[in-house]
Amino acid sequence: MLINIGSTSVLVSEVIGKLRDKNTEPSVFRENLKRLGTYLAYEASKIMGKSVKKVESPLGEAKIDYLKDNICVIAILRAALPMLEGVLEQFSRAAVGVVSVSRGKMLQEKGRDFRIDGTYVNIPYLEDKVAIIVDPMLASGSTILYILNIIKEQKPKKIIILCAIASQYGIERIQNNFQDSIIISGAVDSILNEKGYIVPGLGDAGDRAFNT
């Protein structure tokens, strides 16, 4: 399942525009990743379980919907950190996991698959939780598949992937391997170049966010 929120929201489209702009300074880039994280989390909340509670106002009783699901947000270091901040503003009770990975040797021609080198994984137990993976770029899908293969044995209740920009190829690859996963993206680009980068994309999110 794919939800492209940039196709229906001008606010999201504006944020994506600032992220794409090569002249956007790192501090502004980080702020807009955080802002996008709040929008993506809001969209994710629509497909989560809810319960009803009663509260007393000064004038009477009201019924309020609350999120029922237990949530674990998994951030891919380092690029996802600004987005993680925005997501956690919406899901303040969520547990947090982190994964440090890097792209290694190209395994298929034209940037369609890469070896993923994992250096650190710290993810809370996910059984009966909604696992939300946060990564600004879903390009070839190799990194996301690496993480999905780690967490699938824990049998999370639902898997949601939040990204700023996704390639059409990456989306199809994830959906072919994990049909029940839900991808929520700020934009979808059709081109994945021979080095495995999304075009027009926004460049390297980690480098642009942290000025490296």
pLDDT at position 70, please? 94
| Percent of the chain's residues with pLDDT above 70 | 100
Q: Mean pLDDT over residues 66-88, rounded?
A: 94
pLDDT at position 102, please? 83
197: three-class secondary structure by DSSP? coil
Residue 129 above 90 pLDDT? yes
Model's pTM, two decimal places? 0.92
The tens digit of pLDDT for each residue in 152-182 reads 889 999 999 999 999 999 999 999 999 999 9
pLDDT at position 101, please? 86
C-alpha dihedral sign at 106, 112, 114, 120: positive
Q: Is 169 exposed, middle or buried (0-12, 13-18, 19+ CB in 10 A)?
A: buried
Residue 78 above 90 pLDDT? no
The tens digit of pLDDT for each residue in 110-122 reads 788 888 888 899 9
Q: Please, what are the domains in the chain? A: 2-50+66-210 (3.40.50.2020)
Backbone dihedral angles phi then psi of residue 203, each to the nearest 5 degrees? 90, -160
Which residues neighbour 50 within 8 Å (Cβ) at sequence distance 6 or greater?
A: 65, 66, 67, 68
The span from the CA of 39 to the CA of 18, in Å, is: 15
The tens digit of pLDDT for each residue in 21-31 reads 999 999 999 99
Residue 44 above 90 pLDDT? yes
37 touches 82 (CB < 8 A): yes
The average confidence (pLDDT) of the chain is 93
The span from the CA of 88 to the CA of 22, in Å, is: 27
Query: pLDDT band for position 142 (50/70/90)?
Result: very high
